């Protein structure tokens, strides 16, 4: 049983906490929040915190997209209630604790249907109808940048030196960013396990332990917000953009997935010839069957599709393989209770709730329909003669999501409408924008 809010206030006050930051995710995974004085926490729990619903429809540049229920309805409110079960002290801000917020309809406890946390809950609930619980382990990469007034973007890669692949220590991290960040994230209670310098200059990866799908998405969301905040304290920029640099690879959001029965048994365990159960093969088939639609959720920006392509170690084709990193779905070599899928489709810009929700929904559909998977990829992938190609840009992925009625029925129609409207506006705005590349390519000679 959760502690009464008055007890929580007393405990926080005794610990020197005088502010609670209540945060939640918008549609694209940006942390939205309000700082609440600790003595006002009981009122926030009872009545909630009012936010304009159009926050779900606000672009990264601050514009508001005309999504149904927002501008057309006169910019009504949503009500965000603190979830005190997620309360944690913020290690890098004296006197501050943070918790997640539940987005509800005003005057009720009814969840907002387009709220990403609720979308994931809906998918988890459908899988539970089959007697299964989804377990997820997120892996996220990001680039760390430092100010550079001479750069067109105002930023350059931090510690940018070649060949620091899978290293730790000052060679690839001269200021000790990774060690500080790991310790802060550990103390925040996010279940981080380890980290290292990744392939690209200034690129890092920090791993999170696996847990129930909702908890894993909660931790991934808070992880991204925390990494960005810690970087700002150092005067730097941590970006989870899919591919921020032309001369380096992109940043991935890989998700390890398994399913447990009520007794805790991993239903992906066992079977011949590859050590996976029939249920695991149905799950693989579900992810493959719905991969074009999943691309819109796991690769949700214009920039996402610049990470794709042959020989990129990012997916390009709809395939799966046994311990094969050139496949979209990799089956790691562990078996038994550790049997799982590693879905390598996503990039780091994805909203963790929506990415995991899409995968859970696809696994549910594959298992429910007893779908059949093709044979696994043999050898190195990236051969379009062997497997279908993923959508090549955001508009194509959005069309695939709109056409996938089975997947969108699980995710919810109100969410799907909001997401498609928002993202199609993004694609339309980009089509009208003149890029630096176009000017350099055409202006002088044409």
Name the fold adopted by 3-112.
Answer: Ubiquitin-like (UB roll) (3.10.20)
Ordered by start, the domain boundaries in the chain are 3-112, 121-436
- Name the burial class of residue 176, with classes exposed (0-12), middle (13-18) and buried (19+) by CB atoms within 10 angstroms of its CB: exposed
CA angle 85, 186, 334 (to 5 degrees): 95
Pairing of strands 252-260, 341-347: antiparallel
**SS3 category, 62:** coil
**SS3 category, 335:** coil
User: pLDDT value at position 218?
Assistant: 98
Higher pLDDT, 174 or 316: 174
Q: What does the pLDDT look like over 72-112, one tens digit per residue?
A: 778 889 999 999 999 999 999 999 999 999 999 988 889 99
pLDDT at residue 1 is higher than 50: no
Beta bridge pairs of residue 35? 21
Q: What are the E-state strand segments in 249-391? A: 252-260, 320-322, 329-331, 341-347
User: pLDDT value at position 2?
Assistant: 59
Q: What does the pLDDT look like over 322-366, one tens digit per residue?
A: 999 999 999 999 999 999 999 999 999 999 999 999 999 999 999
Q: Tell me how far CA of residue 418 lies from CA of 21, 50, 226, in angstroms.
A: 27, 20, 27
Q: What does the pLDDT look like over 398-438, one tens digit per residue?
A: 999 999 999 999 999 999 999 999 999 999 999 999 999 99
pLDDT at residue 47 is higher than 60: yes
**Residue closest to 141 by CA, chosen among 223, 301, 251, 221:** 251
Domain 121-436: CATH architecture, name and number where available: 2-Layer Sandwich (3.30)
């Amino acid at each position: 049983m959760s502690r009464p809010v008055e007890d929580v206030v007393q405990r926080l006050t005794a610990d020197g906490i005088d502010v609670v930051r209540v945060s939640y995710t918008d549609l694209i995974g940006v942390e939205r929040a309000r700082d609440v004085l600790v003595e006002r926490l009981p009122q926030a729990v009872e009545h909630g915190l009012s936010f304009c619903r159009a926050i779900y429809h606000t672009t990264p540049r601050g514009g508001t997209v005309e999504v149904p229920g927002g501008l057309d309805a006169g910019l009504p409110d949503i009500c965000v209630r603190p979830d005190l079960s997620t309360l944690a002290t913020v290690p890098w801000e004296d006197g501050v604790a943070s918790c997640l917020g539940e987005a509800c309809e005003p005057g009720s406890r009814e969840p907002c249907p387009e709220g990403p946390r609720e979308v994931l809950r809906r998918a988890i609930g459908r899988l539970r109808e089959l007697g299964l619980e989804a377990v997820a382990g997120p892996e996220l990469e990001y680039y760390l940048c430092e100010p550079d007034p001479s750069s067109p973007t105002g930023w350059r890669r931090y510690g940018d030196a070649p060949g620091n692949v899978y290293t730790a220590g000052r060679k690839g991290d001269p200021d000790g960013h990774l060690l500080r960040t790991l310790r802060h994230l550990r103390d925040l209670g996010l279940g981080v396990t380890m980290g290292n310098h990744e392939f690209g200059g200034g690129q890092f990866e920090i791993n999170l332990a696996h847990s129930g799908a909702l908890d894993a998405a909660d931790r991934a969301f808070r992880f991204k917000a925390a990494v960005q905040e810690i970087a700002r304290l150092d005067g730097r920029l941590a970006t989870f953009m899919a591919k921020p640099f032309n001369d380096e690879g992109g940043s991935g959001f890989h998700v390890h997935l398994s399913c447990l029965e009520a007794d805790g048994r991993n239903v992906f365990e066992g079977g011949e010839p590859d050590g996976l159960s029939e249920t695991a093969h149905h799950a693989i088939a579900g992810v493959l069957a719905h991969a074009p639609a999943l691309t819109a959720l796991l690769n949700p920006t214009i920039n996402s599709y610049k990470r794709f392509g042959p020989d990129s170690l990012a997916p390009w084709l709809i395939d799966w393989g046994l311990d094969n990193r050139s496949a979209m779905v990799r089956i790691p070599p562990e078996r038994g209770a550790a049997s799982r899928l590693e879905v390598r489709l996503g990039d780091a810009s994805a909203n963790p709730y929506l990415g995991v929700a899409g995968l859970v929904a696809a696994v549910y559909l594959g298992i429910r329909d007893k779908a059949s998977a093709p044979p696994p990829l043999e050898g190195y992938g990236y051969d379009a003669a062997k497997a279908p190609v993923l959508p090549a840009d955001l508009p194509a992925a959005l069309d695939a999501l709109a056409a996938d009625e089975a997947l969108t029925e699980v995710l919810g129609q109100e969410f799907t409408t909001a997401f498609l409207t928002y993202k199609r506006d993004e694609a339309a705005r980009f089509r009208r924008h003149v890029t630096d590349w176009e000017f350099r390519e055409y202006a002088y000679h044409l």
